[in-house]
Amino acid sequence: MKFTSRPAAAIMSLSLAAAVLAGCTEQAGGEDTAAGSSSCESKDVRLVGQVRNESNPYEASWLAGGDAFAQSVGLKQERLTYDGDSTKQQEQISQILAGNTKCLVMNVLPNGDADTPPIVKGADQAGAYLVTQWNKPADLKPADHKTWLSHITYNGIESGQQIGDALSEAIGGNGGIIALQGVLDTAAAKDRFAGLEASLKKNTGVKLLDQQTANFSRAEALTVTKTLLTKHGDNVKGIWAANDDMALGALEALQQAGKAGKVAVVGIDAVPDAVSAVQGGTMTATVSSDGTWQGGIGLAIGYCVATGKLKVEDIAADNRAFFAKQFLITKSNAAEFAAPKTNPSDFECANVFNRVAGPLT
Amino acid sequence: MSVPALEVRGLVKHYPGVKALDGVDLVVRQHEVLGLAGENGAGKSTLLKALVGLVTPDAGEIYVRGEPVRLRSVVEAAGHGIGMVFQEQSLVPNLTAAENIVLGSEGAAVRRGLYRWDTMRRLAQEQLDKIGSHIDPLARTDSLSFADRQMVEIAKVLRIEQRSQHPPVVILDEPTSVLESKEIETLFAQIRRLREFASVIFVSHRLDEVLDVCDRVAVLRGGQSVGEVTTEGAVPRELHRMMIGSTGSDDHYHENAAVAVSSEQPRLSVRGLSGATFKDIDLDVAAGEIVGIVGVHGSGREDVCRALFGAEPTTAGEVRMDGKRIDLTSTRAACAAGIGYVPAERKTEGMVGPMSVADNMTLTKQKARCTGPFVAPGKQAGLVDRWIERLSIRTPGRDTAIGRLSGGNQQKVVLARWLVGGDIRLLLLDHPTRGLDIGARSEVYRLMRELAATGVATVLLADSLEEAIGMADRILVMTDGRVATEVACPNGGKPSPLDLVKEMV
Amino acid sequence: MSTPVAMKPAAEPATAKSTARPAARLTGFMPLIALVVLVAALTVADPDFLTQRSLTAASRTAAPLIVLAAGATLVVLCGGIDLSIAALASLSTVLLALWLPDLGGLATPVVILAAATIGAVQGVAHVLLRIPSFIVTLGGMSVLSAVALVVSGAGTVRVVDDTPVAWLDLYLGGYVPMSAAMALLVVALIALVLKVTPLQSWVSATGYSESAARLAGTPVDLVKIGAFCVSGACAGFAAVMLVSRQFSGGPTMADNLLLPAVAAIVVGGTAITGGHGSVWRSLAGALVVTLLRVGLPIVGVPSAYEQILYGAIIVVAVALTLDGSKVSIIK
Amino acid sequence: MTNEVVAAPRRSSRRGASFRDAGPPVALVVIFAVFAALSPQFRSVENVQNIVDAAAVLAVVTCGITFVLMMGSIDLSAAGVMGASALTVSLLVANNRNDNDFGLLGILVAVLLGCAFGCLSGLALVLLKVPSFMATLGVSAVGLGVATLMFAGVQPNITDAMLESWAVERFLGFSYLTWIAVACIVVGWLIQRYTRLGRYAFAIGGAEEVLTLSGVKVKPYKVAVFTLAGAFYGLGGVMVTSQLGAGLVQAGDGYDFSAITAAVVGGTLLTGGRGGILHSAVGVVLVMVLTNGLVQVGVSPYWQGGVEGLIVVAAVAAAVIPQRRRNQVVK
């Protein structure tokens, strides 16, 4: 097959080279749709929710929350998933931003800290309203940007510490534990582990025997836990996992090693399985992070700003990057969290910052 | 006379642009060995393929024992008792001999998809016994010698008896082309044994063999039957005439074009060359000289040839070209030293089938078609067209894929590859005429003579002893990896094949 | 001439498909047709898709994949396969991100050179140790990933000052993304170099029949090493593009591009067995794959159906573009 | 000329073949000995149990892939098929999503689903003439899509006592899953040795065209081999579900390349026609010993993949070097 004859190829490459040499280059985009200048009709707003995949419960509930909010305002959420692939996430974002961005609202879960800057930059240029959650580099602040409305996260240090404390209490303040880390390149994983370290400082009787990453994955947690259990044997009294999926994987490993019930396990996220495990007593504690709410709230903030019901300038600086409220779930209060509950009133423009626990530190 | 085992009437097969079969008639009687002769392109292959159901004829009838049949697949052909031993061996190398023998007609050896190894072994043993072979049926096929594999192949074909109640018709397509004379004799003995209970169609381009083993020979030319000969008392020349439509040239090997060889410094001088399969080879070839190397399968002559081209590692010895020592560490080095090699396996090693005639011709001597580092299309076109004309290569054009040419023309392109650079000093020819018909052979011989006349030294591993004797000025006989003896072979004083065979065993 | 025999021009028609000329030409253009059909389908699904900005974004997205696929196409043409390209590109993003602060603009050529060297090393291992390229590059893939993890400390390396690679984020004439133009340039350059030098016939000969090529004195080993080297260099360049786009380098950043790159090559119609194909085909293939990767979710195909469609379309596209007459046995 | 020569009875050189096949087991013993010497934890009984238990799923998947590799094809569909089968089984046995409680029947359906996907790969190869590399890649994507559809946002947790017990209960010190894997290996070996399907798969890898010439219809066998492989992947998905207690879309992540690695390390050639189930079993154990041993002796997790990659290359190089020839074709 020949797409081009040799002369054609030569001409093409020559003209390309000429174009480069002539330096007729410029920045593209960014020239249209100055954000916030005019408010949009409700029906013109385009709601986009982007998470890693639809095949884990937490992110599935996120998308469900987004759908619920979109329905409440008579719109439809465009659901995007990028399979935990940073490249694919950027590709999707840039494709979305290449479409009509006039009233575009994006509620994005960046794959890692480093994936946030290009998303922010793209949204800035296109004038799309953006709410990010969980991951961002510390030096990048929504307050410095016009259409990056807010960054929402949970205080990982706090939750890491809370479950750390709960774990040491469960093992009687004395003994060895192992830690399962999340994807190392995420603020969530780092903060939560920092919380564990803080907790360890406080509970001096507890010793961290080993820590390995299981990448937030249930299957990886299973194998890692099995190996660590053979390595450390009965010294393991407790397992600290940076999320519930890994905690559930660890539970399976314990069961297969015949140690179910003998080793305390804690996690974070309060996915339904974990909550019922806490309720049933096989797991010690977890911390609520409400995926359904997260999926809705990002879109709600963007929607309010896009329709002019909320002015960017009016958002308090503390609300541009904040920790959302979270709760430690133990056997005593697990029943309350057994059924996920979204309160439609949470998404009203006056209430969107109701769950702010404090500014990002 | 009883009903013919197989009869073909008016078979026609068209290919785009070619009429491969143009009304062929053929009769195979029961218990006879029928030779099938014809030049390449005469329609032999197509006819055979039609007989085993690989080709569906456009018109004509095939009768098996008087009954008209339609053969749409190998299985159907086998059902009628027709089976074929293919030109390239068709055995699965990583299965046992037994499995190969029963392949496709396992019968009792496989029940509901399950193997019964004992039954299989027994069935295979029966087949091997029929042809008097002593191979272990459970040996892996790739651990057998070439000749043994040929036996397995024949044993396999005879399995068609299992699919048909009648005496089988066995087709042997060029079974001898890669066998050495000893193995050929064994094969012929088996063929004569086959005649006791089967009919055989035997195809070979070696007419002496055809006359030797067959009862009758049918000749094809241009897709038509042109007659048949009873072998008793027939001579090859008679067959030649029928095949090509006129008397063949008396001077088949162009012996009168042979040049006198100067005996000064040899062009190629090999001393003590040793490798895995050969040892202490001494060899001198003068400019313009053609040296033949003969030997049975396993004598190591092919490996010597490849070693001289840097395609086979050597452990000791030195090679000089025109007195200058050269290191044959790679085929590149050999090319650079002015050595050219025409491999025996043309289709897999000699040419790159899907590439064009021009690309194949200029593959080695890239300089000849380039200006600086770049290919000069004009230069290439001129060069290639010149050689196409000079060697009378029949091709629709220089951009035609070489795989579409006939064998003879392919071989000429392969030869031309070494000539386009104009710097060839030594040619290593490994069975350069294998699978070529008489006309094409003759042209290759003429070309060899012409090259010799320009001073190119040639090492020839001939297809047959006759060819070696006809072409060579000198013949080395190799046995077991060593040079056993050297036989002078001047015009007018040629040795007889028997003289050579004595030395070979 | 000593023989009066009139030989038939083609005694045994090699393929018996010589009449299939128009059809063959059609298969030749199949990658392009597939591309057009896909764009049309996406446009029907979402009319907004066929806008200049959207196509610009798509071409920018496709750039790294095009470069990766173009490099690997050479290896495939030689009859091998390079599974290490994605891991090598990931490693290169890390190296680039690490070196940018110190080397500035020089970091780009240095990284490309390093990647080319790594590619060449794999080529040498393949050629000298006689290990199938699948295995060499599979091993290379894990080794390079490990190195990337260690070098980066298993985290993403952010590029604070991206000016040395920012030029790739510019737009030619305001419309054509520089990265896409560069990708096109890479493809054109490879195609041109192949075309005007003996390399084309060396590469094809090696791919179609390595032993025949070797016995014709073709520098088979060098050609193969060269192919791996170019493949590595392309992986390095793709990494530069990724860094300019993401402002960071990560040890797994490009890993997910491996299968799309191979898919691009095959969808383009290049025979995975070697010999037959071209980098232009891979360009078309890369565009098809990119549209599938990015286009399907954008026009609103739910994630589950997106995967099903992706799988089905890739298979169908390969079925359409593969020239069956050139390959006898398909494994 | 010469008299008829009676060919001397030839014993097969099967001894040579077995010497060639001895490489991987020897390597296994050596590597095991080295780790055992380095780490006391490694040589503990629990750890050996752990290694063998951890090998169970990979062994089953590798059984399937071995048949495909023996044919000279390749299969990358394991990840998708396992995901789909994991979701299927978790929704059919007693679980928290619905009231199904089909028990063994559910497992059977999941395995049959695996068969169906395998069959799909085979049909794409045979009917559409898509190279298996791409066909299975496409089927894998379809499998993942189907799995995601079934997942529907809520993790199905199994409560089926029998399926849960597979991973927990032990017999003679090994979990039921391990015994299932052993059974699979035995069944696989019987298929390979005593059925037409197995022998033909082997023969297709050796010389496919010969089978056709012998009147064997190759295509149905190819489809059947992929179907068989799919069944093993389906079972693998069920086993992962049993291990995790839940149906995960990602159940088969990484098993495709791991299984190929294990098969290749065990001595199965990617070109087909050599190797077999027992080879692969050795390869699986070798890979698992390596993975576990590296953790036990404290090699950084980042390097583990790299070391594995190097060892794979070394293993193949060691197997290849004794048979090297100057003009050998290595793709």
Whether chain A has a CB inside 8 Å of the CB on C290: the answer is yes
* CATH C-level class of A42-155+290-325+340-359: alpha beta
Residue C54 is predicted with a pLDDT of 86
Output DSSP code: residue A143: G
| Higher-pLDDT residue of B411, C326 | B411
Of B257 and D15, the one with more pLDDT: B257
Question: Using a CB-CB distance cutoff of 8 angstroms, which residues of chain B are in contact with residue C7?
Answer: 39-41, 394, 406, 408-409, 439-440
Instruction: Quote the pLDDT of residue C14.
Output: 37
Q: Identify all chain A residues contacting C250, using CB atoms and an 8 Å cutoff.
A: 86, 112, 114, 185
B169-173 vs B370-371, strand pairing mode: unpaired
- Asked if C324's CB is within 8 angstroms of D148's CB, the reply is no
Q: How confident is residue D199, by pLDDT bands cut at 50, 70 and 90?
A: very high
CATH of domain B265-338+425-490: 3.40.50.300
Residue D20: the pLDDT is 56
Q: What is the mean pLDDT of residues C37-66?
A: 89
Distance from C-alpha of C110 to C-alpha of C48, rounded to nearest angstrom: 41
Tally of domains in chain D = 1
Question: Among residues A72, A80, A71, A73, which one has the least CA distance to residue A99?
Answer: A80
Asked if residues A198 and A157 have their Cβ atoms less than 8 Å apart, the reply is yes
Q: If pLDDT is split at 50, 70 and 90, which confidence band does B89 have?
A: low
Q: Do A86 and C170 touch (CB under 8 A)?
A: no
Could you tell me whether strands B339-342 and B324-326 are parallel, antiparallel, or unpaired per DSSP bridges? unpaired
Question: What letters, b where the CB count within 10 A reaches 16 and e where it falls short, cover A73-87?
Answer: bebebbbbbbbbbbb
Tell me phi and psi for residue B331, to 5 degrees.
Answer: -65, -30
* Facing B439 at nearest CB: one of C7, C195, C197: C7
Report the share of chain B in percent with pLDDT over 70. 94
The owner of tokens 């000079």 is B390
Q: Which of residues 203-262 of C touch A (CB under 8 A)?
A: 242, 245-248, 250, 252-254, 256-257
DSSP secondary structure letter of residue A209: E
DSSP category for residue B247? P
Q: Do D206 and B94 touch (CB under 8 A)?
A: yes
Residue type, position A254, single letter:
L
Nearest CA in chain A to D244: A252
Contact C319 D128 (CB under 8 A): yes
- CA-CA distance, A187 to A109, in Å (whole number)? 12
Record: contact C54-A95, CB cut-off 8 A: yes
pLDDT per position as a tens digit, B311-363: 888 999 999 999 899 998 889 999 999 999 999 888 888 899 889 999 999 99
> Closest approach of chain C CAs to the CA of D117, in angstroms?
12
Instruction: Tell me which residues of chain D, numbers 128 to 187, contact chain B at a CB-CB cutoff of 8 Å.
Output: none
Q: State the DSSP H helix or E strand holding residue B334, giving kind and residue range, or none if neither.
A: helix B331-336
D202: which residues sit within 8 A by CB, 6+ positions away? B94, B95, D70, D192, D273, D276
Per-residue pLDDT band at C19 (split at 50, 70, 90): very low
Using CA atoms, how far apart are residues A320 and A310, in angstroms rounded to an integer? 13
Q: Using CA atoms, how far apart are residues C309 and C307, in angstroms rounded to an integer? A: 5
Given this model, what pLDDT does residue B263 score?
Answer: 63
Higher model confidence: residue D227 or residue C304?
A: D227
When the pLDDT of each residue in chain B is averaged and rounded to a whole number, the result is: 85
Question: Scanning every residue of chain C, which has its alpha carbon at the shortest distance from the alpha carbon of B351?
Answer: C212
**Confidence check: pLDDT of B181 > 80:** no
Please report the number of interchain residue pairs, chain B to chain D, with beta-carbon separation below 8 angstroms.
121
Determine the average pLDDT of the residues in C155-164.
84
DSSP B457: E
Q: Which among A12, A19, A87 has the least Cβ separation from residue C242? A: A87
Which tokens belong to B292? Answer: 């033949």
Looking at residues C42-47, what average pLDDT do you find?
87
* B·C CB contacts under 8 A: 150
Structure-token pair, residue B233: 């008392």
Q: Check if CATH label 3.40.50.300 holds for domain A157-287.
A: no
- Whether D184 shows a pLDDT value over 90: the answer reads yes
Asked if ipTM goes beyond 0.90, one says no
Q: What CA–CA distances, in Å, run from D304 to B223, B380, C161, D261, D288?
A: 67, 54, 33, 15, 12
Phi, psi of C16 (to 5 degrees): 60, 20
Instruction: Determine, for residues D264 and C129 on separate chains, whether the beta-carbon distance falls below 8 Å.
Output: no
- In a domain, residue D2? The reply is no
Contact call for residues B173 and B87 (beta carbons, < 8 A): yes
Is C295 an 8 Å CB contact of chain A? yes
Tell me, yes or no, if C163 comes closer than 8 A to chain A by beta carbon.
Answer: no
The verdict on a CB contact (< 8 Å) between D46 and A61 is: no
Give Cβ neighbours of residue B385 (< 8 Å, ≥ 6 apart). Answer: B398
Please choose, from the candidates C70, C80, C64, C66, the residue with its C-alpha nearest in 3D space to the C-alpha of residue C231. Answer: C70
**Taking CB atoms and an 8 Å limit, are B439 and C11 in contact across chains?**
no
Instruction: Give the range among B96-100, B192-196, C251-255 with minimum mean pLDDT.
Output: B192-196
CB contact under 8 A, C218 and B364: yes
Lookup: tokens for A290: 């409400």
Give the mean model confidence (pLDDT) for residues C225-232.
Answer: 97
State whether residue D219 sits within 8 Å of chain B by CB: no
**C-alpha to C-alpha distance for B199 and B170, rounded to whole angstroms:** 6
Chain A nearest C-alpha distance from D301 (Å): 8
- What are φ and ψ of residue A216, in 5° steps? 60, 15
Query: Which one of D43, D248, D302 would you mutate to disrupt binding with A, by most A Cβ within 10 Å of its Cβ?
Result: D248
Distance CA B15, CA B106 (A): 35
- Cβ of C215 within 8 Å of Cβ of B15? The answer is no
Domain B6-244, what architecture? 3-Layer(aba) Sandwich (3.40)
In degrees and rounded to multiples of 5, residue A339 shows phi and psi of -105, 125
* B241: nearest CA partner in chain C: C5
B341 touching chain C per CB within 8 A: yes
- Asked if pLDDT for residue C261 goes beyond 90, the answer is yes
Which chains does chain C touch, 3 or more C-beta pairs < 8 A? A, B, D
Domains of chain A, by residue range, sit at 42-155+290-325+340-359, 157-287
- Which of C135, C306, C314 lies nearest to residue D134, judging by beta carbons? C314
Q: What are the domain boundaries of chain B? A: 6-244, 265-338+425-490, 349-422
Does D226 reside within a domain? yes
Q: Mark yes or no for CB contact D131/C330 under 8 Å.
A: yes
Specify the pLDDT at position B505. Answer: 62
pLDDT in tens, B105-138: 788 888 888 989 999 999 999 888 877 778 899 9
Per DSSP, the residues of A221-275 read: HHHHHHHHHHHHGGGEEEEEESSHHHHHHHHHHHHHTT-TTTSEEE-SB--HHHH
Cβ distance B392 to C276 less than 8 Å, yes or no, reads no
C115 vs D18 pLDDT, higher one: C115
CATH assignment of the domain containing D199: 1.10.3470
Q: How far is CA D37 from the centre of its chain?
A: 29
Report chain C's mean pLDDT, rounded to a whole number. Answer: 86
**In angstroms, what separates the C-alpha of D167 from chain C's closest C-alpha?**
29
Is residue B309 within 8 Å of B341, Cβ to Cβ? yes
What confidence score (pLDDT) does residue B248 get? Answer: 45
> What gap in Å lies between CA C250 and CA C254, rounded to an integer?
8
Q: Is the pLDDT assigned to residue B237 strictly greater than 80?
A: no
Angle between helices C220-246 and C52-77 (to 10 degrees): 160
- Report the candidate in D113, D58, D56, D70 with the shortest Cα–Cα distance to residue D225: D70
With beta carbons under 8 A apart, name residues in chain C contacting D80: 311
pLDDT band for D331, please (50, 70, 90 cuts). Answer: low
Q: Is C321 helix (H, G, I), strand (E, B) or coil?
A: helix
- Between C324 and B228, whose confidence is greater? B228
Split at pLDDT 50, 70, 90, the class of B465 is confident
Residue D2 has pLDDT above 80, yes or no: no
Mean pLDDT value across residues B196-220: 86
Q: What is the pTM of this model?
A: 0.86
Distance (Å, rounded) from C-alpha A294 to C-alpha A54? Answer: 15
Sequential pLDDT tens for chain A (361 residues):
444 444 444 444 444 444 444 444 444 444 444 444 567 888 889 999 999 888 878 888 899 999 999 999 999 999 999 888 888 899 899 889 988 888 999 999 998 888 899 999 999 989 999 999 988 888 889 999 989 999 999 998 999 999 999 999 999 989 999 999 987 767 788 889 999 999 999 999 999 998 888 888 888 899 889 888 888 888 999 999 999 999 999 999 998 888 888 999 999 988 888 998 999 999 999 998 888 899 999 999 999 999 988 888 888 888 999 999 888 999 988 888 877 667 788 888 888 898 898 888 7
Q: Do D215 and B105 touch (CB under 8 A)?
A: yes
Which domains, ranges and CATH numbers included, belong to chain C? 58-307 (1.10.3470)
C105 Cβ contact list (under 8 Å, min separation 6): C164
What kind and span of H or E run contains B485?
strand B482-488
**Candidates D41, D244, D296; nearest CB to A252:** D244
Q: Show the 3-state SS of chain D.
A: CCCCCCCCCCCCCHHHHHHHHCHHHHHHHHHHHHHHHHCCCCCCHHHHHHHHHHHHHHHHHHHHHHHHHHCCCCCCCHHHHHHHHHHHHHHHCCECCCCCCCCHHHHHHHHHHHHHHHHHHHHHHHHCCCCHHHHHHHHHHHHHHHHHHHHCCCCCEECCHHHHHHHHCEECCEEHHHHHHHHHHHHHHHHHHHEHHHHHHHHHHHHHHHHHHCCCCHHHHHHHHHHHHHHHHHHHHHHHHHHHCECCHHHHCCHHHHHHHHHHHHCCCCCCCCCCHHHHHHHHHHHHHHHHHHHHCCCCHHHHHHHHHHHHHHHHHHHHHHHCCCCCCCC
CB contact residues (below 8 A), chain D span 214-273, against chain A: 240, 243-246, 248-251, 253
Using a pLDDT cut of 70, give the percent of chain D over it. 90
Chain C, 186 to 215: residues with Cβ < 8 Å from chain B are: 195-198, 200-202, 204-205, 208-209, 211-215
| B373: closest chain C residue by CA | C197
**Chain B residues near residue D11 by CB distance under 8 angstroms:** 136, 139
Q: How confident is the model at residue B245 (pLDDT cuts 50, 70, 90)?
A: low
C13: confidence class by pLDDT, cuts 50, 70, 90: very low
Flag whether residue A271 sits within 8 Å of chain D, measured between CB atoms. yes
Q: Does A219 touch chain C (CB under 8 A)?
A: no
Is some CB atom of chain D closer than 8 A to the CB atom of B93? yes
Interface of D with A in 37-56 (CB under 8 A): 41, 44, 46-47, 50, 53-54
Task: Among C25, C49, C67, C158, pick the best mutation site for testing chain A contact (most A Cβ within 10 A).
Answer: C158
Burial annotation B106-120 (CB, 10 A radius, 16+ → b, else e): beebbeeeebeeebb
Nearest-angstrom CA–CA distance, D254 and B433: 53
